Structure 1
Amino acid sequence: MQYSFHLEAYSGQLSAKTAEAVEQVKAYFNDPSLQVFVWDEHHIVIATSYNVSLPARGSIDNNILAVEPILVKIALHRYPEAAPLIMSDRKTFPKSRLPHLYYSDEGKPAVLCLVRGSLDEWFATKTIGDLLIIAAQWFFKAAIGTLVTDNNEFDPVRLNTSLGKHVFKYETFRDIVSENRRFVESYPLALILSSAYTGEAENERAFKSISDIPFISLDKFREAISKVENKSRDHNSKVLPFYSLLIWDPDQNEEPAYFTNLPANYGELKGFLKIRGIDIAEMLSALKVGNVPLRSLLVMTHAIKRPYKVIGYEGTYEFFTYTLILNDDFSGLVNDEEEVCISSHSQPFTAEQASSLSNETRLAETLYVGAGSLGSKIIMHDARSGKNVLGVVDHDSFQQHNIGRHVLFSNHVGRKKSQAVVEEIKAFYELDATNNFVFFDRPISFVKNEEVAKYKLIVDSTASPGVMHNLIERQDVINARYAKCEIVDCGEIGLLYLQGSANNPRMDDLIYLACYLAVENSELANWRIGDADRELDVLDIGLGCSSVTNVMADDLISFHGAAFSQVLAAYPFEDFLKSGFIYLNVFRKSADNFPQISNKRYCVEPFEVYESKNDSRWTLRFLSGLSRKLLDLCNSHAPNETGGILIGIASYKTKTLHIYDVIEQPADSTSSPVAFNRGIEGLANLVDDIKYQTGQVIGYVGEWHTHPMNLETLSGQDMVSIEKLQVINKQIPIPTCAVIVTKNKIIPFIYD
């Protein structure tokens, strides 16, 4: 018998596209006489058949015939957006024994599942002929038993109609059933803590299940749920906690057959479960007697043990959730006519899933200092990639103007950024442990060392020198790699700095080095030259940005944030275990307004650090290689002295001179074994060029000369020169620095 024997011929008008689809089906089967029938008011079907090439001994278990009648179901008004469905026209089709079918009730045709994912999306780039070829292959594979090729795994039932989503961790329910963790010994039943959300419950009937409740803990859970319910009523909370049930066959019998007749009402559900050793009516009555407050949303999840591992899950159980929506809270009895709806299972978003989706494993415990427009984006990239240990430091509040460039939305206006961002992250992973997502709504200087020391990587997205100095001073205690990122040049340049291990190169070394690199890098030069004429309050995006003066597009910030996130994901930075780096990310626009994107990475070896011989408060920090250069110059000019000037920057705040280049003696210099008189030819222009290209940041900071006779102190003439220089340098102001270079030593003298 075939379904099409009882259908009426279609006599209405077809749209041009639907008529074309009918002709394509006829052409594929080379049969212009194929009939078109009415299926329902929205669909037609075409009855035809496949000739299936069977093995010599027939199909596996005689499931497939040599001639298989089919129905091609086409939507009258939604084709081709809605793909045609291929259904079996055979009433005796063994759909309980075959995988890759959508669920259909007894007495309804089997519907073939032909592709993974959305059939409509697949069909958007295919033809009717492609669809029919795939269906022919389906029947052939069914005949030879190769529909399932996933290592002999079980294909789960495909529910094409359901009521909402039941979100739970498969592993949680699997373990409860496999370990037989009963609420009470008498019944194969676990009491589950679940929650719904008012918006989700009204629109999609979505709810989440968290964990089972041991009997001995019921009173504590009942008290906690009561408090949440009271709070929900008082504050109009969206959270609605309730108890649901997880039930299973007490004998754990395997069921290899696919369901063709799932229960539609409570009476059918009782019978369906009864033949599997589950007396649901008795269970519900016992729970009522035990004063377990079941609500009007009555949710029961049934575990079915399959003979093989279920495709897509780590276990042999398949779960079906039956939902009853009662008029009132459960009173102990349920009318047999109450409708039972089936809710589909959805795995919760977990850190493990996030890592899998992003194809990354980000394990570094990270503390973010700054949750502004840039920092919040990098934080969210990390969180959405599955990082599960993350702290956020920011004491600023989220303001109206922040909405334009922040990951947060208007519902968080007035709240602390750090707290709001962390709460959003915790909401991603509701069924994961979220204790390691922490916020600090205070300045970093008020966060204790023992708190900061819990993290392996610190990412500073502020534009605050105070934050930088605080973190530099604490590095020896907190022992974490320190990274800093900023966006400059009106958003066209992003800079990411990674401090070296053992605090060298130090963060301030790197930031000033980025300025000095403008001497050789035109992109950096454009930034530094432009910034020399730009107002201070539009330079950087950072923690202290509480005004609307920063003019910068949100997508530019996102561009740099994404790049920084990818670089930081490389922690522990195997190529930079001791060194630091500067990552330059550039976004310019061409004359015709198209993006021009480039990037460059600078590896920065540890600086060479010297303490001032005359004043231990001061330190000299040479860019790697400069010490060797000075020693070589001493030896190459011996027995005569030589000298020149130091290029860098001096910081009175940190009592540090950062040296990025040494300029050799000008052509008009004179020297002998006991004296050196530095000339001036070309020096002024050279220094002015460096200052111009670096935006007036890097320039002259001191003198150096050699003592090839290995005198390790300043001569009388040296002291005379220093006294003269002090008068000049105090006008700038910079300290007066003189570096003595012997054949094997660098000896700085610094006077402030």
Structure 2
Amino acid sequence: MSTDGPGDHAERFLTAARTHRECRGGRIVSVDETAAMIELDINVEMPLHMRVDGVSESGVRRTETVTAHLGARYPWSPPTFFLREDFPRNLPHLQPGPLTELPRPCLVDGNEREFFIQFGLVELGIFNLVHQLVLWLRHAAEGALIDPEQGWEPTLRRNLSAEIVIDAEACRAIVDRNGGHRVQKARFLRSGANGASIGAEAFAWIDVTPEQAPLSRDDKKLFTHRPGQGYAEGNTVCAVIWPDKLPAGGPFVASSYMPETVTTYEDLTARADELGCGRALRVFIDGLERCFRGFVLDPPVPVAVILCARRPFHLIGSASDIELLPYVIEIRAPNGRTSLFAGGDAEPVAPAIQRDTPNPALLRRVSGAPEIAPVVMLGCGSVGSKMAMHLARSGVPIPVVSDRSSLLPHNMARHALARPPVARSKATELAAELSQIGQSPQVHEDDLVFDLPERDKRRTLLPRDAGCAVNTTASLAVREALSALPAKEVKPRLAEAALFGRGQGGFVLIDGAAHNPTLSDLTAELYATARSPRLRTLLFDPGHGLAEVQIGQGCSSLTMPMTDMRLSAMTAGLAEQLVQELQAPAADGRIIVATTAGDSSDTSWSRQSVPPFAVVAVEGADGWTLRIARRVLDEIYAEVARWSAAETGGLMIGTCSARLRTVTVVDLLPAPSDSQRSAGRFVLGTEGLVAAIKARHAESGSTLFDVGTWHSHLADEGPSALDRKTAAELAAERPPPSALLIVTPARLFGLMHARQGATGGTGRG
């Protein structure tokens, strides 16, 4: 800290300020033990005809004498600049304050102390602040402090002692051309003694709800006051007031700029009259008086008043021309009173800062995030809760949350929420958390596997206005239930997000348009195309998988051990990837995979586009289908082209699901070398086939199996008698189902023989 006194600071300040070429003179006015006052004579550049007059059309003089105040905290805090007492106040970028104080210009957009200190040397900070002052005065003289093309500059309301939290866009939406007011319920927090004046000695914070509140004498809870340690809280109201129309019928437009100078009730009513809101304000005040008639409440209750000023053009950063001017005034209702305002016209009024309620639009603006359609969260565990909060804090609406399990103490290791030992379901607790940031999701606590197939419940779980539903349950059953949904009845895209390798890997799957490929298709495709050793290790090595962790005496949980830091880092990346995809959803499905380096947290990302799978009905099996990856089908057609004069074939690799009644093909094994090809027949050989099947099964982490064979026909003909015999032989020698794919020049045929007594086989893979 500097040991120099105010006099030393004043001399150095004056020396530094006079190095600016527009500072034509200066002097130290006063110095005491804690502060110093310095005057600077600033030359103001203005058009020639104004210079001749010595004053601009806006009232700025050719030479302005500005007073700089160096306070006790200087140079750790910047100097404060004051303009002359009669400086015009109908200009933008003037700090709020009563008419009894000298006007103060707002010189920087942001924190003035940070601006002052950033230059290192105090002298450089002084010079740059003086330069900002010179620019401000020049723009004020030219009438350029506000640019209509950029928008109306809202009145500065920094460093005020009252705050009102309200949905600004909702306020603007109720403004009509006829004039009026709306009363809404609110909660308040007030600091200071009961006798302290609001604004000067007492602070008020008011949180306004969307609920309308008729001023009724019967509502005993509309106004309450509960004292605390150095503060009080309770219920109150907020009046949103908008201007009457003009006598000729047109809208009332307040086109004059007015800095914030309101300090009393008289000032407030005068300001309301200037904005066309006077009648509605008085109607509201009269309503308050009637509401409190016969009612006694000794301590003060702060009431919010928001005047809606209609400006001649839109506000900066908004499409609306309605500016909100918020104030707080206190009512007191002691026994024997004559008015709720003990001071009458001199009753103190505090100009307030308006802050938006937490809502998706606000959070999206603050985050700089894109606007995307709502996202449903299916699963509210560690991954789901983290993703939901990341998305919600980026302004993404979350219309539904679903999870049937309870939030238990051991979940606190990685869950997005911290709760006491006795908590509700994960979905209910997550919905409660989301409500704090302007979301109101529906809660589903039942079994998704059984509710998704029911049309009425599905309409609630997957609303039509949602852009996506993300499965984070890590449940194979839920994945299959989503994959089985009728595509034409489900509008949102379906996605899945999960971690693997104890948080060192993660993936996002997004199904294709018309839900082809499905999430089950994409999972099989992921297993089939996992080629890098690092990815296969993380995906398939049991050492990186689940483990049993003791969570109490005699009880344990099967979980994937990892720190909250690791889970949070990977989940945040998955959420970013999901948002990126949902901005412009592709027709194809997507597989997005992240893996960390073995010895660091460096993360590599890969993206894979997956075209729709070919869907082939299977003859001989009730409702079964073959689903074949386009990549695999291209390999088949290439093989057929190589053997254009003979039938050829090979072995199909993939998964089977008895619940979905699908055989999913995501890879091929080439025909063994002893296979026989001719124009009328293909016979699959056996040399090395079993070893190749076992090797592919092991390479896939035991996720992929041989699911049947394929062969070509030279003519556009379906299954032959020999094909049917082969299908029957396959069914007799191996567990069903085993599919036969026949590739002709024009179409695909599927064949499966149901073994006697079989009902569709058991799921394999």
TM-score range, shorter chain: 0.7 to 0.9
Q: Contact (CA 8 Å) 1:201, 1:207: kept in 2 or not?
A: no
Task: Flag the 1:466–1:49 CA change in 2: closer, same or farther, 3 A.
Answer: same
Superposition deviation, residue 39 in structure 1: 6.9
1:678 and 1:282 mapped to 2: Cα distance? 92
Residue 525 (structure 1) aligned with residue 532 (structure 2): no
Aligned 8 A contact 1:620 1:657 in 2: yes
Percent same amino acid at aligned positions?
A: 21
| Residue in structure 2 matched with residue 669 of structure 1 by the alignment | 675
Question: For the Cα contact (< 8 Å) 1:619–1:657, is it kept in 2?
Answer: yes
1:467-482 alignment runs, 5 A limit: 467-476=478-487, 477-482=489-494
| Correspondence for 2:133 among 132, 135, 141 | 135
Shift of 1:699: 3.6
Match of 2:196 in 1: none
- For residues 59 and 225 of structure 2, the distance between their equivalents in structure 1, rounded to whole angstroms, comes to 57
Q: Which residue of 2 aligns with 1:103?
A: 96
Per the alignment, residue 491 of structure 1 pairs with 503
1:55 matched to 2:61? The reply is no
Any conservation in 2 of the 1:587–1:598 contact (CA below 8 Å)? yes
| 1:66 and 2:62 correspond | yes
Distance 2:707 2:173 in 1: 69
1:102 aligned counterpart, secondary structure? coil
Q: Secondary structure at the match of 1:57?
A: helix
Distance 1:311 1:657 in 2: 60
Q: Aligned pair 1:581/2:577, yes or no?
A: no
Q: Deviations over 1:611-637 (max 9, x none)?
A: 332333543222215445445645653
Quickly say closer, same or farther: Cα 1:64–1:722, change in 2 above 3 A.
same
Alpha-carbon distance between aligned partners in 2 of 1:340 and 1:378, rounded to the nearest angstrom = 44
Distance in 2 (alpha carbons) for counterparts of 1:329 and 1:385: 50
| Residue in 1 that maps onto 2:156 | 158
Matched-pair contact (CA < 8 Å) for 1:486–1:495: yes
**Which of the numbers 235, 240, 263 marks the counterpart of 1:241?**
235
**In 1: Cα distance, 2:26 partner to 2:463 partner:** 73
CA apart distance, 1:523:
4.0
CA separation of 1:640/1:356 partners in 2, compared to 1, >3 Å: closer, same or farther? same
CA deviation after TM superposition for structure 1 residue 259, in Å: 5.1
The amino acid of 1:749's aligned partner reads M
Equivalent residues in 2 for 1:501-650 (5 A)?
Answer: 501-518=513-530, 520-531=531-542, 533-537=543-547, 547=557, 549-569=559-579, 576-577=586-587, 579-588=588-597, 591=599, 593=600, 595-627=601-633, 629-630=635-636, 633-634=639-640, 636-637=642-643, 640-650=646-656
Counterpart AA for 2:208: S
Counterpart in 2 of 1:299?
Answer: 303
The equivalent position to 1:91 in structure 2, one of 51, 60, 85, is 85
Q: Distance in 2 between matches of 1:738 and 1:282?
A: 82
Partner of 2:185: 194
Could you tell me which amino acid in structure 1 is paired with residue 359 of structure 2? T
Question: What are the superposed Cα offsets for residues 120-141 of structure 1, whole Å, 9 maximum, x if unpaired?
Answer: 2333423221111111121222
Deviations 1:552-590 (A, max 9, x none): 23343333333333343356675632x31211123335x
1:363: Cα distance to partner? 4.5
Any residues of structure 2 matched to 1:18-57 within 5 Å, and which? Answer: 23-25=15-17, 27-28=19-20, 35-36=27-28, 38=30, 42-57=34-49
User: Does the C-alpha gap of structure 1 residues 294 and 492 become closer, same or farther in structure 2, counting only changes over 3 Å?
Assistant: farther
Q: Distance in 1 between matches of 2:207 and 2:178?
A: 21
Contact 1:243 1:294 in 2 (8 A): no
Cα distance change, pair 701–139 in 1 and its aligned pair in 2 (3 A):
same
CA contact (8 A) 1:499 1:506 kept: yes
Write the letter of the residue equivalent to 1:394. Answer: D
Measured after TM superposition, the shift of residue 362 of structure 1 is 3.6
| Conservation of the 8 A alpha-carbon contact between 2:10 and 2:36 | no
Q: How does 1:177-576 map to 2 (within 5 A)?
A: 179-182=177-180, 190=181, 192-198=183-189, 205-210=204-209, 218=215, 226=220, 240-246=234-240, 254=254, 256=256, 258=258, 262-264=262-264, 284=285, 287-290=288-291, 296-299=300-303, 301=305, 303=307, 305=309, 308-309=312-313, 311-312=315-316, 314-315=320-321, 317=323, 319-324=325-330, 326=332, 332-333=338-339, 334-336=341-343, 339-388=348-397, 390-410=399-419, 414-429=423-438, 437-444=441-448, 445-446=450-451, 448-455=457-464, 456=466, 457-476=468-487, 477-518=489-530, 520-531=531-542, 533-537=543-547, 547=557, 549-569=559-579, 576=586
Instruction: Supply the AA of the counterpart residue of 2:206.
Output: F
Q: Give structure 2 stretches of 5+ with no counterpart.
A: 120-124, 194-201, 247-251, 550-554, 755-760
Equivalent residue letter for 2:708: G
Paired with 2:145 and 2:377, the residues of 1 have a C-alpha distance of 50
Query: How does 1:713-732 map onto structure 2 within 5 Å?
Result: 713=719, 719=725, 723=729, 726-727=732-733, 729-730=734-735
Whole-angstrom distance in 1 between the partners of 2:309 and 2:614: 67
Cα separation, 2, equivalents of 1:588 and 1:361: 30
Q: Matches of 1:750 and 1:505 in 2, distance apart?
A: 26
Farther off after superposition, 141-150 or 701-710:
701-710
Q: TM-score, normalised by structure 1?
A: 0.80
Aligned residues: 702
1:493 Cα shift? 1.6
Alignment of 1:698-713 (within 5 A): 698-706=704-712, 708=714, 712-713=718-719
CA deviation after TM superposition for structure 1 residue 466, in Å? 1.4
1: CA distance between counterparts of 2:712 and 2:310? Answer: 85
* TM-score normalised according to structure 2 size: 0.78
Aligned to 2:110, the other structure's residue is in SS state: coil
* TM superposition shift of 1:21: 5.0
Q: Deviations over 1:80-125 (max 9, x none)?
A: 3x2222222x33333x233222133334332121122222233342
1:712 and 1:117 map into 2 onto residues whose CA distance is 75
- CA shift at 1:596, angstroms? 2.1
* Equivalent pair of 1:667/1:679 in contact (CA under 8 Å): yes
> For residues 352 and 638 of structure 1, do their structure 2 counterparts lie closer, same or farther at Cα, with a shift above 3 Å needed?
closer
Q: State the SS of the aligned residue for 2:597.
A: strand
Distance 2:644 2:281 in 1: 100
The alpha carbon displacement at 1:177 in A equals 6.3
Does the 8 A contact of 1:369 with 1:458 survive in 2?
Answer: yes
Whether the 8 Å contact between 2:187 and 2:207 is mirrored in structure 1 is yes
Contact 1:34/1:47 (CA < 8 Å) preserved in 2? yes
Q: Distance in 2 between matches of 1:643 and 1:149?
A: 74
Among 744, 748, 752, the alignment partner of 2:751 is 748
Q: Structure 1 residues 572 and 599, CA, compared in 2 at 3 Å: closer, same or farther? A: closer
Letter in structure 2 aligned against 1:495? F
Corresponding residue number in structure 2 for 1:146: 144
Alpha carbons 1:42, 1:75 under 8 Å: kept: yes
Is the partner of 1:64 in helix, strand or coil? Answer: coil
> Deviation of residue 146 (structure 1)?
1.7
Structure 2 distance, partners of 1:413, 1:40, is 62
CA contact (8 A) 1:641 1:705 kept: yes
Cα gap change, 1:573 to 1:749, in 2 (>3 Å): farther
Q: Which residue of 1 aligns with 2:199?
A: none
Instruction: Give the 3 Å change call, closer, same or farther, for CA 199–461 of structure 1 in structure 2.
Output: farther
- Paired residue secondary structure (2:498): strand
Could you tell me whether the CA contact under 8 Å between 1:646 and 1:662 is conserved in 2? yes
1:423 Cα deviation (Å)?
2.9
Question: What root-mean-square deviation, in Å, do the aligned CA atoms of Structure 1 and Structure 2 show?
Answer: 4.3
Please state how far the C-alpha of 1:516 moved relative to its aligned partner: 0.9
SS, match of residue 206 in structure 1 = strand
Aligned to 2:552: none
Q: Which structure dedicates a bigger proportion of its chain to helix?
A: 1
Q: Is the 8 A contact 1:323 1:341 kept in 2?
A: yes
Q: Shift in Å at residue 153 of structure 1? A: 5.5
User: 1:696-720 CA distances to partner (integer Å, 9 max, x unpaired)?
Assistant: 2124333334455777546669848
